[in-house]
Structure 1
Amino acid sequence: MVQAPSMTEHRGDDDLLSAGLGLDGLRAMTAPAFADPEHPTASELRRRAIWSNWRGIADLSATGGYGQVYGSVARIPGREFSSLLSLPGAAQPHRVLMQLPDAFDTGKRCVVVAASSGSRGVYGAIAVAAPWALPKGCAVVYTDKGAGSDYFDLDARVGSREDGTVAGADEAALAFAPQAATAASGVAVKHAHSQDNPEADWGRHVKQAAEFALSVLDQQYPHAAPFRFDNTRIIATGISNGGGAVLRAAELDGDWLDAVVAGEPNIQIDGHGSRDLYDYVTEAALLMPCALLHLPAERLPQPPLRAQAEPAWSARCASLKAAGQIGGDNIAAQAASAYQQLRDAGWSDEALVAGALNVGFDVWRAIAVTYASSYGRYGVGEHPCGFGFSAQNPDFSARPATAAERGNWWAEGSGIPPGAGVGIIDPQLGGADPTLAGLQCLRGLSTGDGADAARVRAGIAEVKAGLPRAGLPVVVVHGTDDGLIPPAFSSAPYVVMAQASGRPVSYWQVRHAQHFDGFLALPDYGSRYVPLLPYMYAALDQIDAQLDGRGRVAGDSVIASQPRGQGTLQAAQLKLPQLQ
């Protein structure tokens, strides 16, 4: 441990599951207030972080069914234990946080280990694990996987304490303190600048979080100690990057893990059609804006508003044509050429349609910038394409952050800018297609030659997954329409590999499910797609029943779910698989 665990109590109007906000408070468009925006307290930061992470992961819209058809925001009293842990050889720690309900069942002895989705902070899996585990008397322990929202202001030389409050590097042990010259400017982001390539250790982060949980349980329940892997049920779960992390944990040696439920996992293997994330993200960043013009306007959900986006998409077509990357003598022909390249590379129409969101919100570029730095283990100011992060002026130039902006980073940052007042600084920005040059540089780190490309690809090689432990029950849940982590590049190859080796892996493919439940609050998305979280909860139910000897997890399933359209989600529309 980097520092001893701290403990806070959460009862009454400040519970574990929603920080006392309840469903109405989580749905509120306005974040929970800070009394002093420049100096928010730890409890204020916690409440806002829980609000932000719930909204980023779950569909909380009035017609989405959360809390009625599936899920729970029941008030769960209990305590939280948090610390900073470090893996051997790591330059930076990862956060762990354990939620221990007052009703913890020392007879069942159940711990759910949850890895944050994306690059989110330590509450980044609260909507995935806590609504299922806490009401059952299970503890939940989270890890941010060495990423998270512990941004460091290089101008003011301040970062985040273990409780999320702001402190100077000389005042306290920080959750992230980068190696950087004193003259460095802007914002350092842990996932990008830790120089640890944390994704290579995601499985070990999960196991270390489980070890932390057992240690805390020993201390809190000495009459029931010892809590060990052989007498305590350990289930690991997560979605997106969190799903990839728990699958990496599944391959670790030792009989320490009882089951895994992985949703829409970012997982990469050798062979079977798998593609590494950086490869298909940089491909999409370049080609997809143009390719979307080939699809009829009515096929694309809003936002982005097509009328507003078309000029930029057309400019991308012209840029790619001039660079010799696509063919065609007019925009329509160029769009068809870009579209066909993506189709030939394995993108489905469903993934392209859902991927429009990633174009509209600049998600592809955000991922590529951060991951290039992480895979190459580049420090502050070393990005091979010159990218950095900073607070920004209206013209996207860098400026120092304000105290109020710094005060909110830990609570609302996603761990991968842009967002929470931190943007991407691109020194090559400009022209009719302003992001093109930077994206071409990023793509070259995947496809090109040279020392930097070799360095990035070496980091990618470190994150390839292996087989889960023999006999370990695993359920993989993935939406067939996922436009961020297409199953054809990730979960499908992984399942083929695992099942070919006799591993007990069940694969649930959910029709009409894309990557972001949180975006189903947008009416056009909500009418087209179903949420993935109900299937995660169902898989956890079935895994738990199987471990208890009450049945077997449903096998491979293609789930014919039905979107809610203009109405309210009904349970019958989910077509949940049944315990066997």
Structure 2
Amino acid sequence: MPTFGDIRCTMHRHGDDLLSAGLGLRGLAGLATPFAHPFSPTAAELRRRAIHSSWKGIADLDPLGGFGDVYGAVPDVPGREYTTFARLPHARSPHRVLVQVPDAFDRRKRVLVVAASSGSRGIYGAIALAGCWGLPKGFAVAYTDKGAGSGYVDPADGTGVALDGTRARTGDAVLEFEPEGLSVDDGIAVKHAHSGDHPEADWGRHVLDAARFGLAMLDRAMPEDAPFTAQNTIIIATGLSNGGGAVLRAAGDDTMGLLDAVVAVAPNVYVEGHGRPLYDYASEASVLLPAALAAPLFDEVPFARVAGLPLPAWALRGAALRAHGRLAAQSPVAQADEALAMLRAGGWQDDALRVAATSVSLDLWRTITVAYASAYLRRGAGRMPGGFAYRAPPLAGATLRATWWAEGSGVPPGAGIVLAGGTDLSLDPTLPGRLSLRDLWQDDTLRDAVRTTAAALPRDNLPILVVQGTHDGMIPLAFSAAPYVAWLRAAGRRPVFWQVPHAQHFDAFLAFPGFGERHLPLLPFGFAALDRAWQHLDQGRALPEDAAVRDARPRGAGRLTAGALALPG
């Protein structure tokens, strides 16, 4: 069982609510509110900034995107928050849990939504999915950061992040992450990469801990209605991306029957012997996909070309890979075709590859594999594989450091932190680091760590709904959701599987020029799946059938319409 530290309770009313910190939809879609004192923002200011950045990182709030009109809403939801650091018995570092209890909690329904942050985000990283769906209905929402988050530690001034989000020195407060023996030369320490706990192995347990904390905080918030238990409270787990994988892991770890339903959206989930784990295909894409982008498949794909021509860097990647013995073809065109053929042979589908080009241009493949390699090998900040390190340039002073908890993604670079190392002085300077990360896939220690992230089989009668975009280029359907669902069915389970045409992984990217016109948001399908799970539990309505959502179509150049979504009935 987990242990919980000191619990912080805060009230959020009168212009500072649970769902948007008083910003509303207009404020969430706009620029961040400046801090009154940039060097020392208050806990309330940091919370507002964290909620704002979590919404902007997940949802498409662009005027053409339809949020707040076609789907979704951001009403004012007053209530209380309870937060603490929870610790698994074997863990060196805690994971943060937080429970939001709306003043209008439905005491008759007694519903707790449990959510895990997407990616490696901080504690509010699932608010655009779980909070947006559950809080306006009068449901409480419990969140976990899954042992990741943005509690960055800077050895330059000896500070980390306290429970209220403010920066504090070791010894002055209990910190979210307190690595031992960190020196200035080691760079910035990040919990997901450097805790030594391999947090991904415990994703499911983190979710179940959040559920237990949620029940305990409902007891505290409403003692007259206590006890809140798994027997008298409906518990629905949901998450997006890594959060989706975490709730599916929780489904397999839930031997006590805490969960009543699970809704996973674009889940990063792995079943040993089925599909491919993230590190495998991400390290492959980091090396090969840039060389493939000159192929005709990527004609007119946003961010893959400039003025209709492949960038020289991609021709250089092909030549560099040939020099390293990774490609055999001699001409740039033939090298692109060879790299593309290798990706297809590994199971990549063309719709996913086209969208994956965006992740090349944003350098996401290298960013992800650096952090995951360090976590899998349990390396500290000064011993990251490949010679990598996270560093804050000298000009990144106290003002940027103060924003790290609120704006950091949990996997730098970003918020003034850069990814250093793994480079040389060649014309393709990042290739050495990428090749070293790819070659680590043959390392037995790393592979053993990945095996500990495999999902276990959930109980037979647990409702599971999985929603995935067919154009997902970050967590491709063919590597994650599809093999997971097939595995469940082969074992006699009956999951619901919605495959959404034209939907990709990052709704926030739909605001990019040329991107939203070609795709659909995934969040409305997540909301719809949660609706159907709730109707099944509350009304006994039959679970929906699988759906390919065949009538859905890209948004186009205009505003999103309900007809384009064609949500399953």
Normalised to the residue count of structure 1, the TM-score between the two structures is 0.95
Shift of 1:100: 0.7
Distance across 2 between alignment mates of 1:401 and 1:321: 39
Q: How does 1:86-485 map to 2 (within 5 A)?
A: 86-182=87-183, 184-252=185-253, 253-272=255-274, 274-295=275-296, 298-302=299-303, 305=306, 310-392=311-393, 399=394, 401-447=396-442, 453-485=443-475
CA contact (8 A) 1:104 1:139 kept: yes
Shift of 1:314: 1.2
Q: Does 1:558 align with 2:548?
A: yes
Letter in 2 for 1:403: A
CA contact (8 A) 2:252 2:459 kept: yes
Shift of 1:501: 1.2
Distance across 2 between alignment mates of 1:412 and 1:508: 32
Q: Which whole-Å deviations, capped at 9, do the CAs of 1:125-144 have from their partners, x for residues lacking one?
A: 00011111011100001100
Q: Which whole-Å deviations, capped at 9, do the CAs of 1:75-125 have from their partners, x for residues lacking one?
A: 111111111100111000001111110000111110000100000000000
Shift of 1:38: 1.0
Identify the match of residue 574 of structure 1 among 540, 553, 565. 565
SS, match of residue 498 in structure 2: strand
Q: Does 1:22 align with 2:17?
A: no
In structure 2, the CA distance between the partners of 1:305 and 1:179, relative to structure 1 (3 Å rule), is: farther
Distance across 2 between alignment mates of 1:549 and 1:410: 41
Q: Does 1:496 align with 2:486?
A: yes
Q: Which whole-Å deviations, capped at 9, do the CAs of 1:422-476 have from their partners, x for residues lacking one?
A: 11111534310010000111111103xxxxx222112111101121221100000
CA contact (8 A) 2:154 2:187 kept: yes
Distance across 1 between alignment mates of 2:296 and 2:125: 34
Distance across 2 between alignment mates of 1:304 and 1:173: 48
Q: Which whole-Å deviations, capped at 9, do the CAs of 1:56-75 have from their partners, x for residues lacking one?
A: 00000101000111111011
Q: Which moved more, 1:326-335 or 1:84-93?
A: 326-335
Distance across 2 between alignment mates of 1:10 and 1:534: 27
In structure 2, the CA distance between the partners of 1:199 and 1:88, relative to structure 1 (3 Å rule), is: same
Distance across 2 between alignment mates of 1:342 and 1:184: 38
In structure 2, the CA distance between the partners of 1:338 and 1:176, relative to structure 1 (3 Å rule), is: same
Distance across 1 between alignment mates of 2:309 and 2:23: 36
Q: Does 1:545 align with 2:535?
A: yes
Shift of 1:200: 0.4
Distance across 2 between alignment mates of 1:493 and 1:355: 20
CA contact (8 A) 1:59 1:521 kept: yes
Distance across 1 between alignment mates of 2:41 and 2:68: 30
Distance across 1 between alignment mates of 2:185 and 2:333: 45
CA RMSD of aligned residues (A): 1.4
Q: Which whole-Å deviations, capped at 9, do the CAs of 1:248-267 have from their partners, x for residues lacking one?
A: 00012121110000011101
Shift of 1:37: 1.2
Distance across 2 between alignment mates of 1:5 and 1:566: 48
Distance across 2 between alignment mates of 1:112 and 1:373: 32
- Aligned identity (percent) is 52
Distance across 2 between alignment mates of 1:114 and 1:517: 18
Q: Which moved more, 1:86-95 or 1:422-431?
A: 422-431
Distance across 1 between alignment mates of 2:374 and 2:161: 21
Distance across 2 between alignment mates of 1:185 and 1:503: 47
Residue of structure 1 in register with 2:5 after alignment: 3
- Which blocks of at least 5 consecutive residues in structure 1 are unaligned? 393-398, 448-452
Q: Which whole-Å deviations, capped at 9, do the CAs of 1:355-386 have from their partners, x for residues lacking one?
A: 01110011000001000000111112112311
Shift of 1:174: 0.1
Distance across 2 between alignment mates of 1:108 and 1:325: 59
CA contact (8 A) 2:153 2:177 kept: yes
CA contact (8 A) 1:304 1:357 kept: no
Q: Which whole-Å deviations, capped at 9, do the CAs of 1:528-575 have from their partners, x for residues lacking one?
A: 000000000000000000012341221211112111101111111111
Distance across 2 between alignment mates of 1:243 and 1:227: 25
Residue of structure 1 in register with 2:56 after alignment: 55
Distance across 2 between alignment mates of 1:180 and 1:402: 23
Letter in 2 for 1:158: T
Distance across 2 between alignment mates of 1:329 and 1:226: 70
Residue of structure 2 in register with 1:76 after alignment: 77
Q: Which whole-Å deviations, capped at 9, do the CAs of 1:259-316 have from their partners, x for residues lacking one?
A: 00001110111223x1111110000000000111103554312377466971111111
Q: Which whole-Å deviations, capped at 9, do the CAs of 1:223-271 have from their partners, x for residues lacking one?
A: 1111011110000000100000000000121211100000111011122
Distance across 2 between alignment mates of 1:88 and 1:73: 38
Distance across 2 between alignment mates of 1:97 and 1:305: 44
- Which blocks of at least 5 consecutive residues in structure 2 are unaligned? none
Distance across 2 between alignment mates of 1:277 and 1:79: 37
- Kindly tell me the number of residue pairs found equivalent between the two proteins: 565
Shift of 1:405: 1.4
Shift of 1:401: 4.2
Distance across 1 between alignment mates of 2:523 and 2:477: 17
Distance across 2 between alignment mates of 1:204 and 1:296: 42
4+ residue segments displaced more than 2 Å: 179-185, 295-299, 302-309, 427-430
Q: Which whole-Å deviations, capped at 9, do the CAs of 1:184-208 have from their partners, x for residues lacking one?
A: 4420011000000000000000000
Q: Does 1:526 align with 2:528?
A: no
Distance across 2 between alignment mates of 1:305 and 1:550: 53
Letter in 2 for 1:546: H
Letter in 1 for 2:525: Y
In structure 2, the CA distance between the partners of 1:528 and 1:140, relative to structure 1 (3 Å rule), is: same
Distance across 1 between alignment mates of 2:66 and 2:413: 30
Distance across 2 between alignment mates of 1:299 and 1:500: 40
Shift of 1:22: 1.1
Shift of 1:3: 2.2
CA contact (8 A) 1:304 1:360 kept: no
Distance across 2 between alignment mates of 1:189 and 1:196: 12
Shift of 1:499: 1.1
In structure 2, the CA distance between the partners of 1:358 and 1:217, relative to structure 1 (3 Å rule), is: same
Letter in 1 for 2:451: A
Distance across 2 between alignment mates of 1:102 and 1:463: 38
Shift of 1:500: 1.3
Residue of structure 2 in register with 1:450 after alignment: none
SS, match of residue 293 in structure 1: coil
